[in-house]
Structure 1
């Protein structure tokens, strides 16, 4: 048994937000990399998470399956750190807004695009997938406007909001959606992915993925 939080995820999935947040916050997690999709390739996982989705964080009696919530949790597990913004601090509301905006408004159309235009394109739904790609690109305007005169989204420092939004931009590059991403956001993404904690998180997930394949 371990008293470390256990993170179940697939390499390069939304769980990267949680792996990254753990590295930034210095939280020692037990990282469990699963084959994709786990509901089919790791059926025992369904006993832990009936949704069959990743990520999933297990921390004692706590069970969490939302990547942005897990990232915030890890950043505040032992009290507020600079990675999160506490009530009463400037940009507290904005911090919450951009953290939730990352998944609900930006990553959502990306996942629909991936399903219809990549994974199930042979079923005749590719056109719908590409429509969601346009939706994704149009909804980047809020982030673009926010970062016109800022290095980071909130409180003049790197926070979980940047992790959550940054992952959506990382995903865009990896699934063929980068043509519609503004150059300013590509520069923002480059800054984020040069961070030591991001590089460690990415390499840790890749090591787990390679171990599965061997």
Structure 2
């Protein structure tokens, strides 16, 4: 079985997170750029990803969608990169905790705020994030406990959490708290993050 790695992406999408993760892994990979619209609705692509969206990776005959799943999969598929605590390591808990906090409660809180959705106080128990402020406080606690969210070394969880914070700070969907700015500055200076940004920035359409 071929173990070719292929990234299906668009430089204006969450595919930038998947590319950063691939650059951290350090294995050769091929990129397929898909334009928004008909290309992502093509039957051949939708046969791989019925949602018709990017990012998606193909590793041999394994297809993985959903950005946090891509990060977690690559960390486990290439353990030599050291991007996930080993099974049984006590840091495996916070690693999963904060990656999926960002994928669930944090993203929901940020999205609802951007859409102007305000959860009534008496209904906050019905949503996973409770309130936007509660989600921001939990995120601040995660990035303030140490240099990284799962202890003293960088993991795939930092790729995902760091990307969320970077996007939110840039577009105003996450509060500009000093703890967020310090954490994002730390993780975004990594060589793999810089390589990934340069690759995707070069693929952006020219400004009019």
TM-score (norm 2): 0.81
Instruction: Please list every run of 5 or more consecutive structure 1 residues that lacks an aligned counterpart in the other structure.
Output: 117-126
Quick check: 2:109–2:135 contact (8 Å CA) kept in 1? no
Q: Secondary structure at 1:98's aligned position in 2?
A: helix
**Aligned-pair CA distance for 1:197:** 0.5
Instruction: Please list every run of 5 or more consecutive structure 2 residues that lacks an aligned counterpart in the other structure.
Output: 121-126
Paired residues, what number? 197
Q: Secondary structure at 2:117's aligned position in 1?
A: helix
Aligned partner (choices 197, 200, 207) of residue 202 of structure 2: 207
Quick check: 2:147–2:183 contact (8 Å CA) kept in 1? yes
Quick check: 1:7–1:58 contact (8 Å CA) kept in 2? yes
Paired residue for 2:100? Answer: 100
Aligned partner (choices 146, 151, 167) of residue 150 of structure 1: 146
Query: Using the alignment, how far apart are the partners of 2:5 and 2:132 within structure 1?
Result: 33
Q: Deviations over 1:47-97 (max 9, x none)?
A: 432211211111122111111111122222133542111112131111111
After superposition, the CA RMSD in angstroms is: 2.8
TM-score (norm 1): 0.79
Paired residue for 2:117? Answer: 128
Paired residue for 1:196? Answer: 191
**Aligned-pair CA distance for 1:100:** 1.1
Q: Deviations over 1:135-171 (max 9, x none)?
A: 4453021221233341111131010111111111112
Q: Cα gap change, 1:78/1:163 in structure 2, threshold over 3 Å: closer, same or farther?
A: closer
Paired residue for 2:124? Answer: none
Paired residue for 1:161? Answer: 157
The 5 Å alignment of 1:30-69 reads 30-35=30-35, 38-40=36-38, 42-44=40-42, 45-69=45-69
Query: Using the alignment, how far apart are the partners of 2:138 and 2:201 within structure 1?
Result: 31
Quick check: 1:56–1:63 contact (8 Å CA) kept in 2? yes
Query: Using the alignment, how far apart are the partners of 1:91 and 1:24 within structure 2?
Result: 19
Q: Secondary structure at 1:147's aligned position in 2?
A: helix
Quick check: 1:80–1:86 contact (8 Å CA) kept in 2? no
Quick check: 1:33–1:209 contact (8 Å CA) kept in 2? no
Query: Using the alignment, how far apart are the partners of 2:131 and 2:171 within structure 1?
Result: 15
Query: Using the alignment, how far apart are the partners of 1:196 and 1:63 within structure 2?
Result: 27
